[in-house]
Amino acid sequence: MAAAANGEAILETVGLTKRFGGLVAVDTVDLAVWPNRITAIIGPNGAGKTTIFNMLSGVLRPTGGTIRFGKRRIDGAPAYVIARLGIARTFQNVQLFEGMSVLENVMIGRHTRTRAGMMAAALGLPGVAREDRTARGACMEALAFVGLAERANDDAVSLPFGQQRLAEVARALVAEPRLVLLDEPAAGLNTHERTGLAAMVSALPERGITPLLVDHDMDLVMDISHDVAVLNHGRKIAEGPPRQVQSDPRVIEAYLGEEVATC
């Protein structure tokens, strides 16, 4: 990865591996993500990109290798601990909470920045309502940032798919993470929505949030990323700035190979 003059990597994996029985989904992958730069992991379907995300966010346990967030090892840590440390994520198939409004979904994103527990809530202690009011303010801001402020009280799963994605992004951002993992954020969006998303993600570094994108689609990645890593069959086959990666013959072969296979 471009060892930019940013000092230490915000996230680093060494030899990251995931095996499902006999299948090696991720094969000794070394990654580095630099703060306040936009990093993307690309690769054909089944390359292991979401599996890596699942390991980074604590949803899956790595079979081998290490993951460091700042100075701290996080491989094998429970997902909620990793979230508390400052990593937020969105999901490829959008996991908004059903039976709750858009605002309530985003309020859950604020969980790590609030404290009131169950007993305090049951007893109706005054601090609880106050904390909720403050949280609501931050959540409405996040919704405004992604352009969903008017939809705050609508049922979350009733939103069109593209807006559901944006709601999930707002939910991730409101946690004020240092690193946000965006899993195929552009999938299912139309051109107009894609442009909006690109602008939004590009604006994150100046807010102190480092985005790590996974995408199947080259276009978005080329437009906004600073650093790109390419995976194929679970292995990293190339890395570098977008232009360089795009013209790398191994990368072209990996994607072309897939196109031929699907004919």
What are the residues binding another protein (CB under 8 A)?
A: 57-59, 78-80, 82-84, 88-89, 91, 95-100, 104, 107-109, 111-112, 114, 116-118, 121-124, 128, 131-132, 135, 171, 175
Task: Report, in Å, the least distance between residue 216 CB and another protein.
Answer: 21
Task: Report, in Å, the least distance between residue 89 CB and another protein.
Answer: 5
Task: Report, in Å, the least distance between residue 100 CB and another protein.
Answer: 6
Complex with another protein: residue 102 or 254, whichever CB lies closer: 102
Complex with another protein: residue 13 or 57, whichever CB lies closer: 57
Strand 235-240 versus strand 227-232 pairing type: antiparallel
Complex with another protein: residue 93 or 262, whichever CB lies closer: 93
Q: Are 70 and 10 in contact (CB under 8 A)?
A: yes
Strand 64-69 versus strand 11-20 pairing type: antiparallel
* Residue keyed to tokens 């995300």: 53
Complex with another protein: residue 121 or 252, whichever CB lies closer: 121
Task: Report, in Å, the least distance between residue 142 CB and another protein.
Answer: 13
Q: How far apart are the first and last CA of the chain?
A: 34
Q: Bridge partners of 254? A: none
Q: Are 174 and 138 in contact (CB under 8 A)?
A: yes
Task: Report, in Å, the least distance between residue 215 CB and another protein.
Answer: 19
The interaxial angle of helices 126-146 and 161-173, nearest 10 deg, is 130
Q: Bridge partners of 180? A: 88, 211
Complex with another protein: residue 15 or 127, whichever CB lies closer: 127
